Structure 1
Amino acid sequence: MQEEKYSSVRTKIVGQIFDSLTMGGLEKMITGVAQKVHNPIGRAMVTMGTKSYLWATKTYTVDYYEDLVEFFKEAPLRTPVLLFYSLNDPLLCPDAMEDMIDKWRAMNDPRLEVFSKCWPISRHALHVRSHPSDYHLALKSFLLRLGLETPTSRL
């Protein structure tokens, strides 16, 4: 992955925040997206259409996606990271997320501190609206740990 080309950028990254990563495979994402369609026929069409598209473009989409996910899990950027997620997220397999968190922590790299905030129930990418005080507390604590000022927000 062209590490030398981007080494100057990597040195400027002091921390990472990920909200609602999609992990656990394409099948989980396909069914998660289809769940947003309330009409059963529409849901089936979204599922079949997405599966057909991914099958037809496998070498450009599926293979590329799977390689990048594997790279993300196996070679994380060595900076502190904060992960927000929920156990009921239709686009996430919580076990896959927790396995990645355990794997990163097991690397025992002091530069790669892993912090997470998980809710039993929270909508995908809407944790800040569903749990504003918990979200902002975790975010503020993380940013202070990095020595950064905490932003003010109207969210």
Structure 2
Amino acid sequence: MALPKKLKLMNLFNEGNSYLGETGEVTLPKLGRKFEKWRGGGMNGAVDVDFGLDDAITEMSWKLGGIDPLVIRQFGVTSVSGIGLRFAGSYQRDDTGETSAVEVVVRGRHQEIDFGNAKSGDDTEMTIKTIWSYYKLTIDGNVEVEIDIPNLVEKVNGEDLLKAHRKNIGL
């Protein structure tokens, strides 16, 4: 029997600024694809045709204790890749003690900053929703997934899934 690797420690960086001790929670981006059913003439059933990335995957939300002027100053950034966030997590198996480094890097902009409830004497926490245009997942130094939407790059396990398409359209 083996035990899974579980998140033991984490940190979040905003433009290189560490939120160690301030980050309450990070909801990492989902990976998803957009499929549409196709049933052509002579087909006895439908197949799902892959139309690329799902439109709903580009969200990363995260929470900070208190209030942070840096995040507020970033509200309204106009570039789709104007803000860089980096999640660094240390996962560990409790049966072997083996650890893994997991890093998620995104570039995007904040869609929403929720200041939560303000009540004297109660915990305060702000929630930020960042919409990304660039995403990279690295596990133990290996880049597993890299997506750069504006530059038409999508790599999984080192394979560039859009290389032929870029060539076909003259890029």
| TM norm structure 1 | 0.24
Structure of larger gyration radius: 2
More helix by share: 1
More strand by share: 2
Relative contact order: is structure 1 or structure 2 higher (C-alpha 8 Å, sep ≥ 6)?
1
| TM norm structure 2 | 0.22
